[in-house]
């Protein structure tokens, strides 16, 4: 049984002056969880959410929070984001010289460990930690900002990762997530390649028919693409 398609908003494009209301609207629109793009201005050239912002948003939905830690020091920050209400922490392989230990530390905090790969980073970087994670994030843009163009060549990487996960017998345990430029014209390729967790930011807010339509349309496109594969 394949892992279910999940449509997960990036909080990055939200109106930060109305964050609680935006979270409630996305929840009502049918998203499956929320992704907080945490950026430290070092690992990526942007600075975003501290743990207190996430903690303040926590009461506005019962759906899971995941923190995408685009930071140089995930070991230092992890506990604060778990305390803020994130049940999954995604660290970048490129920021973790001791990735195996970092993922184990996240699990010891009571959160679910996950790992992200920048576009240039090969799938082999996660070969020896797949047993420690429930998700691998294949970035389909270079991290740092929303609204960028989808890097379609990452679909080969998603398929390579799907094959590796399958060879390890982990197809029902390890999700494949994509993040960046996911919208009506790109989601089918990502889903057909093997992604089941699809992060959308800009595309959700650009749909002229509103958030609920955006979520259901993206979900339908992903489901159809996967069936056709
Ligand atoms: C990049 C960010 C974006 C954001 C979603 O570091 O992680 O990928 O979540 O971006 P868009 O607006 O392209 O969906």
In tens, the pLDDT along 41-65 reads 999 999 999 999 999 999 999 999 9
Compute the distance between CA of residue 223 and CA of residue 127 in angstroms, rounded to an integer.
27
Question: What DSSP assignment string belongs to 33-63?
Answer: -EEEEEEBSSSSS-B---HHHHHHHGGG--S
- Is 1 within the bounds of a domain? no
Check if the beta carbon of residue 175 is closer than 8 Å to that of residue 135: yes
Q: Which pLDDT value is given to residue 91?
A: 98
Cα 203 to ligand 1 centre (Å):
10
Which residue intervals of the chain are DSSP H helices?
19-28, 51-57, 74-83, 99-108, 154-167, 187-193, 202-206, 211-228
- Is 210 within the bounds of a domain? yes
Q: Which atom of ligand 1 is nearest to the CA of 180?
A: 8
Q: Which pLDDT value is given to residue 226?
A: 92
Q: Which pLDDT value is given to residue 1?
A: 76
Nearest Cα residue to atom 4 of ligand 1:
146
Tokens representing 184 are 């009506």
Cα 101 to ligand 1 centre (Å):
27
> pLDDT tens for residues 85-100?
999 999 999 999 999 9
Which range marks the domain in which residue 160 is found? 6-228
Domain count, the chain: 1
Check if the beta carbon of residue 94 is closer than 8 Å to that of residue 121: yes
Q: Which pLDDT value is given to residue 9?
A: 98
Testing ligand 1's pocket by substitution, the residue of 37, 139, 200, 204 carrying the most ligand atoms inside 8 A of its CB is: 37
Across all residues in the chain, what is the average pLDDT? Answer: 97
- Is 197 within the bounds of a domain? yes
Compute the distance between CA of residue 9 and CA of residue 29 in angstroms, rounded to an integer.
11
Half-sphere exposure of 164 (CA within 13 A, CB side): 20
Q: Which pLDDT value is given to residue 227?
A: 81
Crossing angle of helices 19-28 and 211-228, in 10° steps, is 50
Cα 98 to ligand 1 centre (Å):
26
Ligand 1 near 201 CB (within 6 A): yes
Ligand 1 near 183 CB (within 6 A): no
Nearest to 31 by CA among 182, 138, 142: 182
Cα 104 to ligand 1 centre (Å):
27
Residue 63's φ and ψ, nearest 5 degrees, are -75, 155
pLDDT beneath 50: ranges in the chain: none
* Catalytic residue positions, numbered: 37, 179
Ligand 1 near 144 CB (within 6 A): yes
Check if the beta carbon of residue 64 is closer than 8 Å to that of residue 34: yes
Q: Which pLDDT value is given to residue 229?
A: 66
CATH assignment of the domain containing 137:
3.20.20.70
């Amino acid at each position: 049984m394949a892992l279910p398609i999940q449509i997960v908003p990036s909080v990055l494009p939200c109106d930060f002056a109305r964050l609680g209301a935006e979270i409630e609207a996305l929840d009502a629109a049918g998203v499956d969880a929320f992704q907080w793009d945490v950026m430290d201005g070092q690992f990526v050239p942007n600075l975003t959410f501290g743990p207190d912002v996430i903690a303040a948003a926590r009461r506005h939905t019962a759906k899971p929070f995941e923190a995408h830690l685009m930071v140089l020091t995930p070991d230092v920050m992890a506990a604060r984001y778990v305390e803020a209400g994130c049940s999954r922490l995604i660290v970048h392989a490129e920021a973790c010289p001791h990735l195996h230990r970092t993922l184990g530390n996240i699990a010891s905090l009571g959160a679910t460990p996950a790992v992200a790969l920048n576009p240039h980073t090969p799938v082999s970087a996660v070969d020896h930690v797949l047993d420690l994670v429930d998700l691998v994030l294949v970035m389909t843009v270079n991290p740092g900002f929303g609204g960028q163009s989808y890097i379609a060549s990452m679909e080969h990487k998603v398929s390579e990762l799907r094959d590796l996960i399958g060879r390890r017998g982990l197809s029902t345990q390890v999700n494949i997530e994509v993040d960046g430029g996911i919208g009506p014209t790109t989601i089918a390729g990502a889903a057909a390649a093997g992604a089941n967790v699809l992060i959308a930011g800009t595309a959700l807010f650009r749909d002229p028919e509103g958030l609920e339509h955006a979520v259901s349309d993206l979900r339908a496109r992903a489901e159809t693409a996967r069936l056709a594969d």
